[in-house]
Chain A
């Protein structure tokens, strides 16, 4: 019977805590630049959304000196800005334009193809199962047995008014 003493529990907790603390640094050390940046959701975020035209922050955080000078020029009359400068200012603040945001993708074709592929695969598995896994059918499924069964049902007059035997012509010995 294992009995964890208070001391043992304490050391376990401490070890797990240190593992958690060192995980991120260990992860970064072992994987280098492959770790994706986790967005800090406590700070204002940028989104491209139809219903939020002006997100909480500008798209480009870090401005080059050229961007800075453009921002200075923005403080003056906007008529003096060329179209390229206006576009550059737009792209500083926003990632995608509305048409770019709204464009549809062909992802649905991949999804439908994947679904049909999986269904097909399942179908093949079922066919293989029927051939190799299922036990042989009971003898009651044999054609001879079925014929004898039907004869017995007719002799018994099963559902003679509207059902089974009603459809059999007893004088001629055939189905009506």
Chain B
């Protein structure tokens, strides 16, 4: 849902023509018109599976996160949760905090997305002991 909000306002005509108002399943905007279009659920599932790999290594985490942030969307809470758990397996707290900063930055002018994300991630953050950038005071310059 928030991906649609971001896409409608930020992207160009392409995304507006692809989305169907009132419809829950939206089409991922890709460059080609042929071939099967991936649904939002498939996209999310693919990324959750990627980060859930039990023996994920640091490079794969970095590659995954940098690629994900490159997309024109804010990742769903379940993807961020999987990424944070991957950070835990890699004993990397700094990256976990960086991921939270990055998704907040991705939301851009849509200030309501990040609080929603943190609200959804609260159980995971408490379980893993990750402080948000706000708690550490690095959300301001």
Interface residues of A (CB under 8 A from B): 50-56, 74-75, 77-81, 83, 86-87, 89-90, 92-94, 97-100, 102-103
Contact in complex: A77, B69 (CB < 8 Å)? no
Q: Are A98 and B102 closer than 8 Å at their CB atoms?
A: yes
With a cutoff of 8 Å between Cβ atoms, the chain B residues found around residue A102 in the complex are 105
Binds A, one of B7-15, B18-26, B27-35, B90-98: B90-98
Shortest distance between the CB of B18 and any CB in chain A (Å): 23
**B138/A99 in contact, CB under 8 A:** yes
**How many Å from the CB of B103 to the closest CB on chain A?**
9
User: Would you list 13 pairs from A and B whose C-beta atoms are within 8 A, ordered by A residue?
Assistant: A51-B69, A52-B69, A53-B69, A54-B62, A78-B88, A79-B129, A83-B131, A86-B131, A89-B94, A90-B98, A94-B94, A98-B104, A98-B133
When the two chains form their complex, are residues A86 and B93 in contact, meaning their CB atoms are under 8 A apart? yes
* Chain A residues near B101 (CB-CB < 8 A): 53, 97-98
Interface size of B by Cβ–Cβ distance < 8 Å? 31
Residue-wise, chain B 45-79 has the 8 Å CB interface mask toward A (1 for contact) of 00000000000000001100110011000000000
Bound CA span A90–B62, Å = 15
- Judge if B136 is at the interface, Cβ distance under 8 Å: yes
Question: With A and B bound together, what is the CA distance between A9 and B90 in angstroms?
Answer: 59
- Is B128 on the interface with A (CB-CB < 8 A)? yes
| Residues 105 to 141 of chain B near chain A (Cβ within 8 Å) | 105, 128-131, 133, 135-141
CA distance A171 to B141 in the complex (A): 81
Select which of A51, A55, A89, A99 is within 8 A of B93 by beta carbon.
A89
**Complex-state Cα separation, A56 to B133, whole angstroms:** 22
Closest residue of A by beta carbon distance from B97? A90
Closest 3 CB pairs of A and B: A79-B129, A78-B129, A93-B94
A99 to chain B, nearest CB (A): 5
Contact assessment for B69 and A99 in the assembled complex, using a CB-CB cutoff below 8 Å: no
On whether the beta carbons of B93 and A98 are closer than 8 Å, the reply is no
A76 to B, closest residue via Cβ: B91
Q: Are B93 and A54 touching (Cβ within 8 A)?
A: no
**A92 vs B138: C-alpha distance in the bound complex, in angstroms?**
14
Q: Are B95 and A54 in contact (CB under 8 A)?
A: yes
Alpha-carbon gap, A56 to B105, bound state (A): 20
In the assembled complex, the Cα of A89 lies from the Cα of B138 at a distance in Å of 13
| Contact B99 A100, beta carbon cutoff 8 Å | no
Please give, as numbers and ranges, the residues of chain B lying within 8 Å of A51 by CB-CB distance: 66, 69-70
Complexed CA–CA distance, A52 and B66 (Å): 5
Contact A94 B98 (CB under 8 A): yes
**B102 cross-chain contacts in A, Cβ below 8 A:** 50, 53, 98
